[in-house]
């Protein structure tokens, strides 16, 4: 509906229009009734003269009254009563004053007729007829005025001239009350009728106003639609002509687009060659470097360079092949993937950055997740690297937690059409399928709810200040979304400003028992069954993960959140079989705790394992390393 006829405006218009119609209808009733009483008053005047001529001689006897006096009374007094309302009907018809004067005049005319008839009971009924006619006004105030005049007339004449109203000379002080009572009885019915009539008039006016407004709305709509159709017809003719021109332009644009697409493909091929060549040189030299004699620290650095180069080369390949993703020409590799290695390699790329920012970078893989599955490890690692990198970028303190869970699901309906494993790959049993869920939770700045829709869009970030502060093109999440969907999963985010974000994605893959070459050695759980493990770390998530892993191996685990708490435990409990210490802890760090443990003769032989970060590396000949059986960075 047009705004000019919106619901509130239409309701107000209906109220205004119904009020106008009600006022006009009432005025018509008032004017019509005024004319009726003008005629009635004249007829009553003439009737009064007739009564004075023919009835009065038989009613008024002898010296009490003479007939000629009544004739003059009928002529003069009747004229005085009838003349003011007649003039008002001519000059001011329908006005409030006019009907009130008519009410007074009609009551006085009834009193005059009663007087001329000598108080006969028949003429008293004229009062009730007058009230009934006055009810035509549908104004209860007119009835009240007429009744008041009649009451006063009966009271005064009943006291001072009873023969003129009651037909006898005896004065009865309360007889007038009886007459007034009948008048009031009729007033009750007539007033109710007036109120009911006013209510019905109002309802009729409202319905009529609604009909008129609806008619106006319909007419307005018809006019609007007619105008719209005429405009649309004109526009259609213009569009037909324009379409002819566009068809010619499209042919030209198609030829230009094909030429541009060819130039784009050639450019991407050249760029791919120019970028991959130096990257392959970096990776090749790194591999050669790793084959030379290196200490453990140098070996770790070289390995990180190699892994970073591999990931960077993969990302570059994805960016250069982005047009293929958009066109749906990307085919996923279907080879055995070790879930643990995939996650750890992605996390290792950010170990040094986490140490420099003093952020805990933690991972936890649920025991129900498949150890090996068939999929594209490059694509999965690319999405993980992108999401972990974003979490590290926007987290200043706290932790980044990578959690992996899995749900067993039936094979997808189109699995046989789209899934073709390598010939040498064997599936487990009846090819169980899993939906693997990855959750990357951080304690960073968070994302405002009103800006969530900018995520996963090409070249878009939460706001412009993010680009200047943290860098990035806004392409990573868009590529991750497309890759995730290609692997049959979904991607999303949950966030709260100031408390951090959780990015999650899933992939649908089948399990396999053909391990890849990089499958890590498997620990024999039976050798650890029942052994006592103490985990000392100020980070609750780290403690939970280490204890959970120990419990999976059948170990009895204990926790301590600080060096002091660990010493209290060791001094008051049976010595555990092994203790895992965190390097960076507030108050007493892992090295200080190890020195205090070594200083206790009872605990001197306790095997200690140090968990450190890339930023806390020590030389192999550092004497402090001698206190630990293993040192993990």
pLDDT digits (tens, 9 = 90+) for 79-91: 777 778 878 778 8
Residues 316, 474: Cα–Cα separation, whole Å: 15
Residue 578 has pLDDT above 80, yes or no: yes
Strands ordered across the beta sheet of 608-611: 556-560, 532-536, 578-582, 608-611, 630-632
Residues 622, 474: Cα–Cα separation, whole Å: 45
Tokens 């004319």 — which residue? 35
Tokens 């644009």 — which residue? 253
Taking only the tens place, the pLDDT of each residue in 379-420 is: 899 899 989 988 888 888 888 999 999 999 888 776 654 555
Taking only the tens place, the pLDDT of each residue in 155-208 is: 777 667 776 666 666 656 666 676 777 777 777 777 777 778 777 777 777 777
Percent of the chain with pLDDT over 70: 73
Give bridge partners of residue 476 from the DSSP assignment.
Answer: none
Cβ distance 186 to 128 under 8 Å? yes
559 sits in which H/E element: strand 556-560
Residue 438 has pLDDT above 90, yes or no: yes
Taking only the tens place, the pLDDT of each residue in 546-564 is: 888 888 888 889 998 888 8
Taking only the tens place, the pLDDT of each residue in 484-534 is: 888 889 999 998 888 889 999 999 999 887 666 555 555 667 778 888 899
Residue 57 has pLDDT above 80, yes or no: no
Residue 4 has pLDDT above 50, yes or no: no
pLDDT confidence tier of residue 65, bands split at 50, 70 and 90: very low
Q: How high is the pLDDT of residue 135?
A: 74
- Set out the domains of the chain in order of their start, with CATH numbers: 3-214 (no CATH), 335-510 (3.30.565.10), 525-632 (3.40.50.2300)
Mean pLDDT of 266-283: 67
Residue 615 has pLDDT above 50, yes or no: no
Residues 611, 625: Cα–Cα separation, whole Å: 12
pTM beyond cutoff 0.85: no
DSSP state of 410: P
3-class SS of residue 468: helix
**Nearest alpha-carbon partner for 585 in 614, 564, 603:** 564
Residues 491, 484: Cα–Cα separation, whole Å: 7
Residues 553, 526: Cα–Cα separation, whole Å: 8
pLDDT confidence tier of residue 440, bands split at 50, 70 and 90: very high
Residues 6 or more apart from 146 whose CB is under 8 A from it?
A: 103, 104, 106, 107, 130, 131, 134
Mean pLDDT of 6-34: 69
**Nearest alpha-carbon partner for 477 in 485, 345, 465:** 485
Please tell me the least confidently modeled range out of 433-447, 581-595, 614-628: 614-628
Q: How high is the pLDDT of residue 265?
A: 57
pLDDT confidence tier of residue 463, bands split at 50, 70 and 90: low
């Amino acid at each position: 509906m047009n705004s000019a006829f919106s619901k509130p405006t239409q309701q107000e218009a209906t109220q205004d229009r119904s009020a106008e119609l009600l006022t006009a209808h009432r005025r018509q009733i008032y004017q019509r009734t005024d004319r009726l009483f003008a005629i009635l008053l004249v007829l009553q005047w003439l009737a009064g003269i007739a009564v004075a001529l023919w009835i009065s001689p038989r009613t008024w006897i002898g010296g009490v009254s003479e007939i000629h006096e009544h004739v003059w009374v009928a002529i003069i007094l009747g004229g005085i009563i009838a003349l003011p309302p007649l003039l008002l009907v001519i000059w001011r018809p329908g006005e409030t004053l006019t009907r009130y004067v008519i009410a007074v005049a009609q009551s006085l005319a009834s009193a005059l007729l009663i007087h001329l008839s000598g108080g006969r009971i028949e003429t008293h009924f004229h009062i009730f007829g007058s009230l009934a006619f006055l009810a035509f006004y549908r104004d209860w105030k007119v009835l009240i005025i007429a009744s008041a005049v009649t009451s006063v007339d009966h009271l005064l004449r009943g006291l001072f001239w009873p023969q003129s109203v009651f037909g006898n000379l005896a004065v009865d002080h309360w007889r007038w009350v009886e007459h007034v009572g009948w008048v009031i009885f009729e007033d009750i019915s007539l007033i109710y009728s007036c109120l009911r009539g006013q209510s019905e008039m109002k309802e009729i006016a409202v319905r009529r106003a609604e009909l008129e407004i609806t008619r106006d709305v319909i007419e307005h709509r018809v006019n609007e639609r007619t105008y719209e159709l005429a405009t649309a017809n004109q526009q259609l003719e213009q569009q037909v002509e324009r379409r002819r021109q566009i068809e010619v332009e499209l042919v030209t644009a198609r030829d230009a687009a094909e030429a541009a697409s060819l130039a784009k493909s050639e450019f991407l091929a050249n760029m791919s060659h120019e970028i991959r060549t130096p990257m392959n040189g970096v990776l090749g030299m790194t591999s050669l470097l790793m084959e030379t004699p290196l200490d453990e620290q140098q070996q770790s650095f070289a390995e990180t360079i190699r892994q970073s180069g591999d990931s960077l080369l993969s990302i570059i390949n994805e960016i250069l092949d982005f047009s293929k993703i958009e066109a749906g020409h990307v085919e996923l590799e279907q080879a055995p993937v070790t879930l643990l290695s995939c996650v750890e390699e992605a996390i290792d790329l950010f170990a040094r950055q986490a140490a420099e920012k003093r952020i805990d970078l933690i991972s936890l893989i649920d025991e129900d997740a498949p150890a090996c599955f068939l999929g594209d490890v490059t694509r999965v690692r690319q999405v993980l690297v992108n999401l972990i990198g974003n979490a590290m970028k926007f987290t200043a303190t706290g932790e980044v937690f990578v959690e992996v869970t899995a749900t067993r699901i039936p094979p997808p309906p189109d699995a046989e059409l789209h899934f073709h494993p390598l010939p040498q790959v064997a599936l487990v049993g009846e090819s169980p399928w899993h939906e693997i869920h990855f959750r990357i939770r951080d304690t960073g700045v968070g994302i405002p709810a009103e800006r969530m829709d900018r995520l996963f869009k090409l070249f878009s970030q939460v706001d412009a200040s993010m680009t200047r502060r943290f860098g990035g093109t806004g392409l990573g999440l868009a590529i991750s979304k497309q890759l995730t969907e290609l692997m049959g999963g979904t991607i999303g985010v949950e966030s709260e400003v100031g408390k951090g974000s959780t990015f999650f994605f899933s992939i649908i893959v089948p399990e396999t028992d053909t391990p890849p070459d990089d499958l890590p050695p498997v620990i024999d759980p039976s050798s650890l069954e029942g052994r006592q493990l103490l985990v000392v770390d100020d980070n609750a998530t780290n403690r939970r993960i280490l204890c959970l892993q120990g419990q999976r191996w059948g170990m009895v685990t204990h926790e301590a959140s600080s060096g002091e708490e660990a010493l209290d435990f060791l001094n008051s409990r049976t010595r555990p079989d092994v203790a895992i210490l965190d390097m960076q802890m507030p108050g007493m760090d892992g090295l200080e705790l190890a020195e205090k443990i070594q200083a206790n003769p009872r605990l001197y032989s306790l095997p200690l394992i140090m968990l450190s970060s890339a930023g806390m590396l020590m030389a192999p000949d550092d004497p402090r390393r001698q206190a630990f059986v293993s040192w993990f960075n």
